């Protein structure tokens, strides 16, 4: 069974472009954004990744001030953090504004952030890399991506081990403010506040030993101890602990006795508290005490200080000068780190497009034709008006709904079937006639006009017929019409496209004045590439019934017949009726290779008869 065009890349691109107002182009082999237009290569290998990229970049175009990146964030590390937090902000905006993009964006983040994660690389990461990736993974995990819990926890634990829990918590608290930012400028200010939290070489280290002396002195004062020289203070402490008559233990060099002495000195406080209070401020006393007893207490104190330095909560484990290191990091130092999710996805899409090369890539829809003749436009328009009389009734029949119009008998109604009256005495009460009324369906009709060199001789008749049909449909209720031609040339002249003849939302007269008609023959017949934009346009247009008329000589570029037929089958699977109108050398044999429904028109004078045949075939199918 042929795949539906609904859900295809061009369809999604056009749909999101219409919703967001951002121009999306499907072409080339490289995915990128220039600040106004999102370009994505055509590939059906990984559609969710393409969808996620389009949604991500469309939100950038709508919500990101790109000038901030160029003017205010020249430092690589600073710019990377701005990229990370801005990505989180604009992705959340996209999910809120266009809920249909949420699954695609989450798929993008899984492919870019979760799938490449390698736990063993966390232990090998530098301080700069850990800070960078902890903000990246932790920010995404805590703000919008539960699926990133494993890599986020790994990097956040590494961040706490390097900087301490208190500083790590402060950094993440700033990261969590991202969704409160209303602009890119505010996100940059948030980035600067995060960098300011990192320890600098200019910061003065806290005088831990002096703090210990003060605490020791306070505790000594509370216990009634005198603040004498270290040696005297040690003796005083011993005296206090031996108030019960065991003061001689103060001169005993035994470690066990010193340990007992320390326990008694603590009073009701824990032993550790006693050591911090007294021994912490008496370095000379510790040196003069016995090596086994008092020296052991000193070792415990030093070990406690080292543990306190690494213990999460005080932030003292962060190396000084870290702020300068991150600010001086070069692009080379940060190479391999993901900061812009969209750029990483673009690289993946580029690789897929190169690995799965598709020779048939959809044409974009450009503007009005550059190669045209105003004189030819006037001449063909007059010819079309002449032959448009009577087409309205025929085309109206094509759009009529197929309903059962047989007469039925009912027990109530307005019209009596006189032939049934005689059956009333027998108990037959179904004597009223009822006939279903044919109702019109809304319809969206698109015309794809072949203006290749092979149509040169038939161009006059073909474009006159196109104008005649459009004029016949003009004004019909619940009907929208649009038209485009191929091949055209892009504005830059670097590639081919479909030229616009008439938008589905504009009047025929406006299309004529804008230069939609008067086409001149040009190039080959890339019908396969042109089917995409025509089919997408008719799918997007309002209407229950979708009809695509293809005006051609039935001879596409060599080797593309099979792809054209496949595309028409996909159109049918998507609910689009495809009808071929043959001109020039087209005949039934040629057209039957491409179309299921077709008619060889030949000249505009046969248009009415040809369309009648089409209407008859459609309604009796």
**Structure tokens, 172:** 């993440």
Q: How large is the average pLDDT for residues 229-254?
A: 42
Q: How large is the average pLDDT for residues 563-569?
A: 91
In 3-state terms, what secondary structure has residue 150? helix
Range in 195-204, 297-306, 359-368, 556-565 with the lowest mean pLDDT: 297-306
Shortest CA distance to 454 belongs to which of 517, 522, 527? 522
Shortest CA distance to 221 belongs to which of 204, 208, 240? 240
Tell me the pLDDT band of 405, cut-offs 50, 70 and 90. Answer: low
Quote the pLDDT of residue 88.
97
Shortest CA distance to 421 belongs to which of 413, 432, 435, 405? 432
Quote the pLDDT of residue 364.
86
Quote the pLDDT of residue 318.
63
Contacts for 499 with CB less than 8 Å, ≥ 6 apart: 366, 367, 368, 369, 370, 484, 485, 486, 488, 519
Tell me the pLDDT band of 6, cut-offs 50, 70 and 90. Answer: confident
Q: What is the pLDDT of residues 366-396, one digit of tens each?
A: 899 988 999 999 999 999 888 887 777 777 7
CA-to-CA distance for 136 and 122, rounded, in angstroms?
Answer: 13
**Structure tokens, 166:** 């208190």
Quote the pLDDT of residue 182.
96
Quote the pLDDT of residue 612.
79
More confident residue, 230 or 22: 22
More confident residue, 290 or 83: 83
Pairing mode of beta strands 32-33, 37-40:
antiparallel
Q: How large is the average pLDDT for residues 605-614?
A: 81
Q: Evaluate if residue 230 carries a pLDDT over 50.
A: no
- Contact between 395 and 476 (Cβ < 8 Å): yes
Quote the pLDDT of residue 499.
94
Most confident of the following: 113-122, 286-295, 385-394, 399-408 = 113-122
Tell me the pLDDT band of 58, cut-offs 50, 70 and 90. Answer: very high
Mean pLDDT for the chain overall? 80
Q: How large is the average pLDDT for residues 110-132?
A: 94
Percent of the chain at pLDDT > 70 equals 76
CA-to-CA distance for 450 and 609, rounded, in angstroms?
Answer: 22
Q: Please give the domain boundaries of the chain with CATH numbers for all domains.
A: 9-199+323-352 (no CATH), 219-288 (no CATH), 366-397+441-620 (3.40.50.410), 404-435 (no CATH)
Q: Evaluate if residue 293 carries a pLDDT over 50.
A: no
Angle between helices 184-197 and 165-175 (to 10 degrees): 170
**Structure tokens, 23:** 């121009």
DSSP H helical segments within 551-606, as ranges?
561-573, 588-592
C-alpha gyration radius of the chain: 41
- Contact between 543 and 444 (Cβ < 8 Å): yes
Q: How large is the average pLDDT for residues 9-27?
A: 87
Q: How large is the average pLDDT for residues 191-208?
A: 81
Q: Evaluate if residue 225 carries a pLDDT over 80.
A: no
Q: Evaluate if residue 122 carries a pLDDT over 90.
A: yes
Range in 257-266, 364-373, 458-467 with the lowest mean pLDDT: 257-266
The one-character DSSP state at 8 is: S
Q: Evaluate if residue 99 carries a pLDDT over 50.
A: yes
Predicted TM-score of the model (pTM): 0.67
Q: What is the pLDDT of residues 574-594, one digit of tens each?
A: 999 999 999 988 888 889 999
Q: How large is the average pLDDT for residues 496-502?
A: 93
């Amino acid at each position: 069974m042929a795949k539906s065009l609904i859900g295809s890349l061009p369809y999604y691109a056009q749909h999101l472009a219409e919703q967001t107002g951002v121009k999306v182009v499907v072409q080339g082999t490289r995915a990128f954004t220039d600040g106004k237009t999102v370009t994505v290569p055509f590939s059906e290998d990984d559609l969710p990744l393409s969808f996620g990229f389009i949604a991500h970049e469309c939100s950038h175009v709508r919500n990101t001030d790109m000038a901030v990146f160029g003017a205010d964030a020249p430092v690589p590390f600073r710019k990377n953090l701005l990229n990370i937090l801005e990505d989180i902000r604009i992705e959340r905006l996209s999910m809120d504004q266009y809920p249909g993009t949420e699954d695609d964006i989450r798929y993008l983040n899984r492919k870019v952030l979760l799938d490449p994660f390698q736990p063993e690389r966390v232990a090998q990461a530098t301080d700069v890399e850990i800070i960078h990736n902890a903000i990246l993974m932790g920010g995404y995990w805590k703000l919008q991506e539960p699926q990133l819990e494993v890599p986020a926890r790994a990097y956040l634990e590494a961040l706490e081990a390097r900087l301490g829990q208190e500083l790590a918590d402060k950094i993440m608290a700033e990261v969590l403010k991202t969704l409160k930012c209303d602009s890119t400028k505010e996100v940059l200010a948030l980035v600067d506040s995060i960098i300011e939290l990192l320890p600098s070489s200019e910061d003065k280290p806290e005088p831990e030993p002096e703090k210990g002396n003060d605490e020791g002195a306070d505790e000594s004062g509370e216990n009634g101890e005198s603040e004498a020289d270290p040696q005297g203070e040690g003796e005083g402490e011993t005296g206090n602990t031996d108030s019960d008559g065991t003061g001689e233990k103060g001169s005993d060099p035994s470690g066990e006795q010193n340990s007992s002495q320390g326990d008694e000195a603590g009073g009701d406080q824990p032993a550790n508290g006693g050591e911090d209070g007294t021994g912490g401020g008496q370095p000379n006393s510790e040196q003069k005490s016995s090596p086994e007893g008092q020296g052991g207490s000193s070792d415990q104190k030093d070990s406690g200080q080292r543990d306190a330095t690494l213990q999460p909560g005080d932030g003292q484990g962060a190396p000084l000068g870290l702020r300068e290191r991150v600010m001086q990091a070069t692009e080379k130092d940060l190479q391999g780190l993901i900061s812009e999710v969209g750029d990483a996805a673009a690289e993946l899409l580029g690789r897929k497009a190169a690995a799965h090369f598709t020779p048939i890539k959809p044409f974009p829809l450009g503007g009005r034709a550059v190669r045209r003749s105003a004189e030819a436009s006037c001449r063909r328009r007059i010819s079309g008006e002449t032959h448009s009389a009577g087409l309205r009734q025929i085309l109206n029949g094509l759009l009529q709904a197929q309903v059962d119009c047989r007469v039925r008998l009912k027990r109530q109604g307005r019209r009596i079937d006189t032939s049934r009256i005689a059956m009333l005495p027998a108990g037959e009460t179904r004597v009223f006639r009822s006939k279903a009324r044919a109702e019109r369906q809304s319809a969206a009709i698109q015309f794809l006009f072949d203006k290749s060199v092979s149509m040169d001789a038939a161009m006059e008749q073909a474009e006159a017929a196109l104008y005649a049909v459009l004029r016949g449909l003009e004004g019909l209720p619940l009907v929208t019409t649009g038209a485009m031609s191929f091949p055209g040339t892009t504005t830059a002249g670097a590639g081919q496209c479909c030229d616009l003849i008439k938008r589905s939302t504009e009047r025929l007269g406006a299309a004529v004045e804008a230069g939609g008609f008067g086409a001149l023959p040009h190039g080959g017949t890339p019908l396969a590439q042109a089917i995409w934009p025509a089919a997408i346009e008719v799918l997007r247009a309002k209407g229950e019934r979708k009809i695509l008329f293809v005006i051609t000589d039935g001879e596409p570029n060599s080797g593309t017949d099979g792809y054209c037929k496949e595309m028409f089958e996909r159109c049918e699977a998507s609910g689009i009726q495809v009808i071929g109108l043959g001109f020039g050398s087209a005949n039934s044999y040629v057209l039957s290779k491409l179309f299921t429904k077709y008619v060889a028109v030949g000249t505009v004078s046969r248009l009415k008869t040809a369309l009648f045949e089409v209407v008859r075939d459609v309604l009796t199918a």
